[in-house]
Homo-oligomer: A and B are copies of this chain.
């Protein structure tokens, strides 16, 4: 035989392949629990039953940027999956299937890598979008975990960023600010995608849900984006903004990020219950839209305004 055994660098019996097989074994029964999964992990692609329109979103978390080194793998996985699912919620969608791509630091043990993937798989199932595929690499750098989610849009309305109309009321779910928390171990690691709340709003308001997005970079910047996309001005009323107990004041509610609450616009005449009936999460009017140059303003009780469109938390 002329073919020699290949040299060591070709040896494929390494953690990348072992981890893949760990994932495939744990995914064998996926189709039973999630009938939309027609072909799960282990083939070149997954195959998912889809409606005639599919929402697609990718987002990632990077060690040292979105979480500090030493954060528990369960929280890293939860944040990574929840961030992407939160964007599906922001379009009033329902998560259908997820893909995860992970660059592992070379120093990680196999057990830690297994635990990360088990946690990501568990969180994805919890949100209704089982992991149907993924990719793994090992490098000399920080952990990067990228999550893609496909989702089903709401049958009644597709709330985008650009639909705010002058005269609309602006609303948020929950309370804002201080999500980083002490030592950066706060609730930003446990975001709860507002799927139920978004579905409720879409069903209750229908086409009246003029615009919606999730607040990831801070209410000021994100309201600024919505204002710019809609070609209106958004005026946030300082006294109305719900400040989270984790925050020291309304400044945190405006400028901090990683709240992953919903910001949405509806006609001023609409009356919304103070809380989502299904979850009890609050729903608060925080301001209004006016004809104007596509900026977000914070207005105090005396009517003075500052432009808050360009300040917010960025991951640097």
Contact = CB atoms under 8 A, between A and B. Distances in A.
Interface stretch (A39-47, A116-124, A267-275): A39-47
Contact of A88 (B45, B142, B151, B250): B45
A12 B3 CA distance: 58
The secondary-structure label for the interface of chain A is: mixed
A74 B284 CA distance: 47
A314 B47 contact: no
B45 A50 contact: no
Given A139-B141, A300-B2, A11 B314 contact: yes
Contacts of A229: 42-43
Contacts of A142: 139-141
Given A47-B158, A150-B150, A254 B314 contact: no
B1 A133 contact: no
A138 B141 CA distance: 13
A255 interface: yes
B137 A315 contact: yes
Nearest to A39: B160
A240 interface: no
A165 B189 CA distance: 48
A64 B135 CA distance: 17
Contacts of A48: 53-54, 56
A140 B315 CA distance: 13
A108 interface: no
A139 B105 CA distance: 14
Contact of A137 (B9, B65, B132): B65
A61 B90 CA distance: 29
Contact of A46 (B4, B57, B62, B238): B57
A16 B45 CA distance: 30
Given A65-B139, A229-B42, A146 B314 contact: no
Given A44-B57, A60-B101, 18 more contacts: A1-B298, A2-B249, A3-B251, A10-B218, A10-B311, A12-B217, A14-B314, A44-B212, A45-B57, A45-B88, A45-B151, A56-B97, A60-B135, A65-B139, A103-B144, A135-B146, A137-B144, A141-B142
Contacts of A306: 1, 3, 5
A13 interface: yes
A59 interface: yes
